[in-house]
Amino acid sequence: MGAKKRFAVIGAGIIGAAVARELVARHDDAVVTLFEKEPRPASHQTGHNSGVVHAGLYYEPGSLKAQLCRRGVSLLLDFAREHEVAFDECGKVVIATNDVEAERLQNIHARSLANGVPDVALLDRSGLEAVEPNAVGVAALHSPHTAIIDYPGLTDALVADFRRGGGRVRFSTAVRRIIPRTTPEGTTALVQSEFDTQEYDHVITCAGLEADRLAARSGEDKNPSVVPFFGQYFILEPRLNDVVNGLIYPVADPKYPFLGVHVTRRIDGGVMIGPNAFLSFSRNGYTGLGFDLADSLTIARDPGFWKFAAGNMATAVREIGGVLSTKRFVDEAARYVPALAGADGHRATRGIRAQAMNRNGTLVDDFVIDRAGATLFVRNAPSPGATSALAIAEYLIDFFAAE
């Protein structure tokens, strides 16, 4: 009987937790260790997002994003049912407010059909009114099975399942770097944490906001770099909890790199609007000023960011209004849900997106996975990364299974 395979997974967000769980499920005799620098899972992007389970409306048919999203939805909701994690298939409408947006909506509909999104349909004004009586628009796309979910709760359940399968979790243990090692028996990797150094046959890093830094400290290319963008959410006063039945999104404007403010039901029954998207001066600054000197200097030294900034001043102007004024935030949502005009509420803890950026200032919009010896570096896992987490876990482990 051979020695047990040793695996390490870095990062206990939803993707890292899903990878760790999939490893123990596939390898009965493996020793799997999950490292997390925080004292609990889902402390960063997973615990600070909108909670939406995306159906796959927007992605290029046949792309990795589309495939992993559709597979991920099925796996995610099956796991949620099995482990009693709260979710709600509340549905979603994407609303066109003019004829130009209505034409774009036709393209989204065609992609949705090509991606196999179930029961998706185009609606006219009366059809929209039947689904969302308080929404207005010239046309809409309805995805009745788009859902919301408790992502932190689901990540906790993934970690618990991993532990039941024999996995080991090392919380409050930051990984400094991964060191490749070659011996006569083959290639392994040393995981150097702040406490010790351990050898593993395979390592998968799912480091999110720290993905570029961990890769660079491990001797890999520092690009694509991570530029953090924060997204603010505004939770509406309880009297408006029934103003929408599901999720209401605008049609994306191709002039801007980010989607724009939308209206989202929360799994706790409330309703929120957001997020905006604006440069964050900290990768972990969820409250207050959100300023970190080291993170700010990293941005300032990134030539890709300055190229991006030079070409996106209109985006900054659009987004700064919602950063400075909750009224502007609400007014934007009220364009397609007039009942929200003048709404009150409070800001929620902001989210921070790990936006990967190329040297030329373009945003990386697809998954980026690099292999270096015995280590896989997940360099970028953009939306629908959380939705796709269990499918991403299958995909990553297949890299090793093919050996």
Residue 229 identity: F
Arithmetic mean of pLDDT, 222-230: 91
Q: Is the pLDDT of residue 257 over 70?
A: no
What would the pLDDT profile of 129-159 be if each residue is shown by its tens digit? Answer: 999 999 999 999 999 999 999 999 999 999 9
Does 1 score more than 50 pLDDT? no
Say if residues 93 and 246 touch (Cβ distance below 8 Å): yes
Q: Which residue has the higher pLDDT, 343 or 322?
A: 343
Could you tell me the CA-to-CA distances from 349 to 50, 66, 259, 272, 290 in Å, in that order?
A: 11, 30, 20, 12, 11
Q: Is pLDDT of 87 > 70?
A: yes
In angstroms, what CA-CA distances link 337 with 217, 218, 247? Answer: 48, 49, 11
Q: How far apart are CA 242 and CA 95, in angstroms?
A: 19
Answer whether residue 64 shows pLDDT above 70: yes
Q: pLDDT at position 365, please? A: 85
> In whole numbers, what is the pLDDT of the chain averaged over residues?
91
Distance CA(372)–CA(189), nearest Å, equals 10
Domain 226-357, CATH: 3.30.9
Domain boundaries, the chain: 6-46+153-223+365-401, 226-357
Q: Which two tokens stand for residue 171?
A: 């919380």
CA–CA distance, 178 with 168 (Å, rounded to integer): 19
Q: How sure is the predictor about 253, in pLDDT bands with cuts at 50, 70 and 90?
A: confident
pLDDT at 255 over 50: yes
The average pLDDT across 318-340 equals: 79
**Closest Cα partner for 6 from 36, 39, 40, 34?**
34
pLDDT of 319 strictly over 70: no
Model-wide pTM > 0.75:
yes
Percent of the chain residues past pLDDT 90, beyond the cut: 76
Confidence of residue 106 (pLDDT cuts 50, 70, 90): very high
CATH of 6-46+153-223+365-401 given 3.40.50.2300, 3.50.50.60, 3.30.450.90, 3.40.50.970 = 3.50.50.60
Q: Which residue has the tokens 């559709």?
A: 70
Would you state the pLDDT for residue 295?
Answer: 92
Least confident of 112-116, 205-209, 230-234, 325-329: 325-329
Residue 11 sits at the vertex; the CA angle it makes with 6 and 14, to the nearest 5 degrees, is 110
Is the predicted pLDDT of residue 256 greater than 70, yes or no? no
Structure confidence at residue 260 (pLDDT)? 75
Residue 323's pLDDT is what? Answer: 61
Are residues 392 and 385 in contact, defined by beta-carbon separation less than 8 angstroms? Answer: yes
pLDDT at position 316 is 57
Query: Higher model confidence: residue 155 or residue 313?
Result: 155
Is the pLDDT at 247 greater than 90, yes or no?
yes
Instruction: Evaluate if residue 245 carries a pLDDT over 90.
Output: yes
329 near 345, Cβ under 8 Å? Answer: no
pLDDT tens digits, 266-284: 999 999 998 877 888 999 9
Q: Do 304 and 314 meet the contact criterion of CB atoms below 8 Å apart?
A: no
pLDDT at 402: 58
Least confident of 95-99, 205-209, 254-258, 318-322: 318-322
* pLDDT per residue as tens digits for the range 156-202: 999 999 999 999 999 999 999 999 998 777 899 999 999 999 999 99
Please check the confidence at residue 394 and state whether its pLDDT lies above 50.
yes
Residue 9 CA to residue 11 CA, distance in Å, equals: 6
Distances (CA, A) of 203 to 10, 42, 395: 8, 20, 15
Question: Looking at residue 291, what is its pLDDT?
Answer: 87
